[in-house]
C-alpha cells in the first residue's frame, strides 16, 4: 500500500509541475515522473515477495523476474539523458515566459 501511495504522490507531483510555466519546473516534473514509473516497474516484478532473480541459491520458482529490473535500468539511463538535454535547452534558451501580443 505504501508503494502505491508513493507512486501516486510522485505522479501527481509530476503532473502538477509539468503543467506549470517554466522549463525548470517541467524538467523537475519529468524527473519525478521518471521515478514514479521506475517504482511502478519495480513493483511489477514482485521483488518484495520473491528471492533474488540472479545468483540466488533458492529454487527458480521463487526467483523474481529480472526483466522489470532491466527495464528500470534502461529507463534510468534514458531519463538521465533526456533530463540533461532538457536542462541544456533551459540553460541556452531565451526567456520562456511568453505572452500573447494580441
Report DSSP state, residue 63. B
Give per-residue burial for 22-33: e unless 16+ CB within 10 Å, then b.
eeeebbbbbbbb
Mind listing the pLDDT tens digit for each residue in 1-32? 888 899 999 999 999 999 988 888 999 999 99
Mind listing the pLDDT tens digit for each residue in 24-69? 899 999 999 999 999 988 887 766 667 766 666 667 677 777 788 8
Plot region of 46 (φ>0 → left; ψ -120 to 50 → alpha; else → beta): left
7 to 11, 35, 38, 81, 102: CA distances (angstroms): 6, 8, 9, 22, 41
Amino acid at each position: 500500500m505504501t508503494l502505491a501511495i508513493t507512486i501516486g504522490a510522485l505522479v501527481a507531483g509530476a503532473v502538477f509541475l509539468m503543467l506549470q510555466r517554466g522549463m525548470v519546473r517541467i524538467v523537475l516534473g519529468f524527473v519525478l515522473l521518471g521515478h514514479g514509473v521506475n517504482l511502478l516497474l519495480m513493483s511489477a516484478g514482485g521483488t518484495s515477495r520473491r528471492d533474488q532473480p540472479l545468483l540466488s541459491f533458492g529454487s527458480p520458482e521463487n526467483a523474481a523476474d529480472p526483466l522489470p529490473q532491466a527495464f528500470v535500468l534502461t529507463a534510468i539511463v534514458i531519463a538521465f539523458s533526456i533530463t540533461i538535454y532538457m536542462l541544456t535547452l533551459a540553460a541556452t534558451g531565451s526567456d520562456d515566459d511568453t505572452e500573447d501580443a494580441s
